[in-house]
Structure formats: C-alpha cells, structure tokens
A and B are shown apart, each in its own frame.
Chain A
Amino acid sequence: MRVRVEQTALPGIGMRHDLVTESGHRLGVVSHRNGRRDLVLYDPDDPDSCQADIPLTDDEAEALADILGASLMLGQLSGLREQAAGLLTEQIAIPAGSKYVNRRLGDTKARTRTSASIVAVLRRGEVIVSPDPTFRFDAGDVVVVVGTRQGLDGVSEILADSDPDG
C-alpha cells in the first residue's frame, strides 16, 4: 500500500485509522470494540476536529468497502453499458461440461475469434480482475465479458463447447 495510514488506539473505545488524501483531505475510520464503525471527515480549517462523524452498521461498512474496492470495476462496466451504445457486458457461467474447464484463458482465443474481452472472473464470491492468458478456468466460474452482442454470443458459444473427451 502506497498510502500511509495512521493507527491510533482509543483506550476504552477501540481504534482509529486515518489518512490524508492526495487532495489534502484527512479522513478516518473509528472502529468501536462492539463492531460499530464511524466514518469521520476532518475539518480543513481545524485539522484536529472532525466535521462529520457518520456511524455505519456492519452491512453498510461492507457495502462501502465493496464499492471502494475490487467490484468498482463491475460498477464502472455497467455504467459503460448505458453510455456507449452497442457495447455490452455480460456475465457468462462456465458449465461443468465445458472443454475449457481446467484449461487456460489463452486457449479459448476468445478475443481473436470474437473481438470481445474477458475483463473479470467471479469465483466463489471473489472477483479476479483482468485475468491474464495463463489464468485457469474452473467449473462454476462466471466470466465477465465486454463486447458487441455478436461477440458476447460468440464467447458464450466457445465456453459452452463441451469437452469431446468428457
């Protein structure tokens, strides 16, 4: 992590983490012992005091972390879908009988054949962003594809292609 996060113990309450953003704002999180978390934003005129103190429940904190974290990628893609006409995203599951189960992403030659790109793979609740050609598929993986309608259908067909040996 290139950002310096300061950690301060709050005896009897919990822990505070804070950081200064590149734009000069200080923001932090107060983690209470009982699991409650407060998002705090510091006052630019008086950097010792917080301007806002926003209590977050577990679910809200998790949702916020998700938004700020990896799945932001997916969020941006769905925004893109609305902006650029003709460009679509789709989530395609790899069926158990697919011949690409346990084979590398590069082997599908999906981009060359359909000009649609595989931008992420969802595996057991985790997001793998920008998998490289050596990435190995598993049955049950869901790939996120960006492309034209035709391209998406093409990738769908390639991945559904069942293993002749299996």
Chain B
Amino acid sequence: MHETTTLLIEVGALLFLLGLLGRLGRRIGLSPIPLYLLAGLVFGHGGVLPLAASEEFFAVGAEIGVILLLVMLGLEYSAGELVGNLRSAAPAGLIDGVLNALPGAAFALLLGWNWVAAVVLAGITWVSSSGVIAKVLADLGRLGNRETPVVLSVLVIEDLAMALYLPLLTAVLAGTGLLGGGIALAVAVGTVLLVLVVAIRYGHLISSALSAKDPEALLLGVLGLTLLVAGVAAKLQVSAAVGAFLVGIALSGPVAHHATEMLSPLRDLFAAVFFLFFGLVTDPRDIPPVLLPALGLAVVTMGTKTLTGYLAARRVGIKEPGRWRAGLALVPRGEFSIVIAGLAVAAGSVEPRLAALATAYVLITVVTGPMLARLPDFAWFKQWLRQRAARQRMEAAVTATTD
C-alpha cells in the first residue's frame, strides 16, 4: 500500500508541476517541451531531487506518449495528401535530408562514436518539430503566407521519411547486421506502401467500422486499435511509432476528425510524460561536457535547416523575404529528435553521452528556433534584405555594362 501512496504523490506532484510549467511557457511564448525536459533533468537520476517510486509508471506513460504523438501526426494527414504531396515536394525533402542528416552523422563520427550512433544522430538533426513549427506559424499569423505550404510539405516529407527511418533504426539498434537491416527495411517499406494503398482505397471502410457517433466507443476503439497495431509493429521490428502513424493515416473523414478531438487531451498528457521521462533518465551531470559540442552542432544544423527552407522556397518562386521566413521557421527540432534518442537509449547499445547531447541539442534548437522565426518580421532585417537586393542589382548592372 505504501508504494502506491508514494507513487500517487510523486506522479501528482510532477504532473501539477508540469501544468504550472506549461502555463509559464505560454506566458513567455516558449514551447513547453524544453521546460518538461528540464523538469525531468531536475527530478531524475543524478538530479537535484531524484524520485524513484514513479519511474516505472513514467516509463510506460512515455511509451504511450510516443504512440499517441505519432497517431495524432497520422490523423493530421490523409493518405491522399501524403502521396499527392510526395511528387512535388520530393526534391525539397531530398535537400532537407542531405543537408541536415549528413552533418549529424559526420559529427558523431568526428566525436569518435560508432556508426550506429552516427545513424541516430543523423535522425536527430534531420527532423524538424512539426508540433512546434505548426504552432509558431499560427502564432505569427503566417498560415496564409505563400511560403507556408513549402514549410508544411517539408514537414510532411520528413514525417513520411520517418516511417522508413524508424524501422531501419530499430533494426540497426537491435544489431541485426547488414542482411537483417536490409530485410527490416524491406519489410518496413512494404508495410508502409501497403498501408498507404489500403488507406487510399479502403480507408473509408476502416473508418466506417468505427462509428463517429458514439464518443466512448470511438475513443476506446481508436486507442485500442492504435496500441494493438503499434504493439504488433514493434514485435515485427517495424517500430511501434510507425505502426501508430500508419493507423492515423488509415483513418479519415469524420472518424479522424472526432478521434483527433478526443485523443488530443490524452496526447497532451502522455506526451508531457514522455518528455519528462526522457529528462528523468538523462543524468544532468553528463550535460556540461557535451554542451559545447551540442552548441556547435546546433549552430551548424540550424544553418543548414535555414538553407534548406531558403532553397525549397526559391524552387517554387518565393521572393527573398519569404525564403528567409521559410528557412528560419524550420529550425526547431523537438519531439521526433527525442523519440529517436529515446529509442537509442532504450536499446542501450549506443554511446551513453548521446542522450545528454540530444537533450542539450533539442533544448538549444527548440528555445532559439521560435525566436529566430521572428527575425524576418523585424524592421532591421527587412532593411538588411533591401540593401542586399539593391547591392545585388548594382553589381548586376556593373557586370552588364562591363561585358
């Protein structure tokens, strides 16, 4: 009985604290993710006030948190949107992958870590945070902007790429070797394609099996189906997160709409638990030694992300200011980077400092990213762009006359 009481007190106190932190975050215009991570660091292993009784609860909660994050991400898109977007946005997605995954991998090798860590770090630096970016765009009133579809389609491609990357990572982390990894990837690609085809052709059938009219049945049905598929996917080494993502994709219409509404509060709860848990299992004493490398990595990959957005926007004929807005908006990394780091830490086969590095990295980008996104709205930035444009015109005129 004593154990349960301590558990209740710890869980209750931490959740209450997260609530206060979330409120504080909104006050100062900050995403709550870094605050949850910090809270985890304070109360976890080696923190100021380590809590022990509730760790198992938070471990399970964190698992559910990842699954809910991914199923909600899937619910946001219809299969048609994903596939329709693929052709037009594939070049931008490719630039994105090359410019942002490679620096991460190179950095891990530079630190003398093994290639598994390189694959993990590549993923961490690659993926922008859909959640944070969507919120920043809405807060800055940029949903109507003409560069916004570019930003969104880069995010969509990243999410699709994750559906292939996560199973691959799971295989690599399990150490199944080249052949095993190849088979795992083939299975993953096959599954993802199969689900997309089924979702486009028969999505309405799956949706009609779950009635949107009875809220209780819908909640239990969708949650149950998601956990079930996620569990089966994990058993097949395809990663639970991808299974959940695909369930989200397959649901459509009013069922998806109502499920989004009902799962949102659950997602908020368990996602907070997930970020907290990641902080809990990271020893804050590991952070100071990796702080400088994390800062360096953050500066480099924030630069490459900005370049990605800039180039992607230029491809579709957006003018100079819009290109900067698109680039700087893409900077924050968040939930996905933590998901990837979490998988690596759980597998236990990578460099232990990786969790600390990932935490510091995400803290840096997710705090500075939304601030950087505001840069193009400042008068001095616009002034600088105008001067740059004028100089370029002058140089062009000079070369034209000398020719």
Contact = CB atoms under 8 A, between A and B. Distances in A.
Contacts, number: 74
Contact of A16 (B81, B144, B321, B325): B144
Interface string B131-160: 000100000011111111100110110000
Contacts of B265: none
Interface in A29-57: 30, 33-34, 38, 40, 42, 46-50, 52-53
- For the complex, would chain A's binding face be called helix, strand, loop or mixed by DSSP majority? strand
A47 B147 CA distance: 10
Contact of B76 (A12, A28, A42): A12
Interface in B154-189: 155-156
Contact of B149 (A10, A46, A53): A10
B257 interface: yes
B333 to A, nearest CB: 18
A6 to B, nearest CB: 10
A50 B144 contact: yes
Select the residue from B82, B145, B257 with max chain A CB neighbours within 10 A: B145
A10 B134 CA distance: 11
B97 interface: no
A9 interface: yes
Interface in B20-68: none
Contacts of B321: 46, 48-49
Given A10-B149, A48-B319, A53 B144 contact: yes
B322 interface: yes
A13 B146 CA distance: 14
B293 to A, nearest CB: 33
A16 B144 CA distance: 7
Interface in B66-108: 76-77, 81-82, 84-85
Nearest to B317: A48
B319 A50 contact: no
Contact-size category for B = 20 to 34
Given A9-B81, A11-B77, A49-B325, A40 B156 contact: no
Nearest to A49: B145
Contact of A11 (B141, B156, B318): B156
A16 B148 CA distance: 10
Contacts of A30: 143-144
Contacts of B155: 11-12
Contacts of B156: 11-12
Nearest to A32: B143
B66 to A, nearest CB: 19
Contact of A33 (B134, B153, B257): B257
A8 interface: yes
Given A12-B155, A33-B257, A48 B130 contact: no
A9 B149 contact: yes
Select the residue from B77, B134, B152 with max chain A CB neighbours within 10 A: B152
Given A48-B319, A48-B321, A50-B141, A11 B81 contact: yes
Given A9-B149, A11-B156, A53 B81 contact: no
Contact of A47 (B142, B146, B148): B146
Contacts of A48: 145-147, 318-319, 321-322, 325
29 contacts: A9-B81, A10-B149, A10-B152, A11-B81, A11-B82, A11-B149, A11-B153, A11-B155, A12-B76, A12-B77, A12-B156, A13-B152, A16-B143, A16-B144, A16-B149, A28-B144, A34-B257, A42-B144, A46-B321, A47-B319, A48-B147, A48-B321, A48-B322, A48-B325, A49-B145, A49-B146, A49-B325, A50-B142, A53-B144
Please provide the 5 A-B residue pairs with the shortest distance between their CB atoms, ordered closest to farther: A40-B144, A48-B322, A53-B141, A12-B76, A50-B144
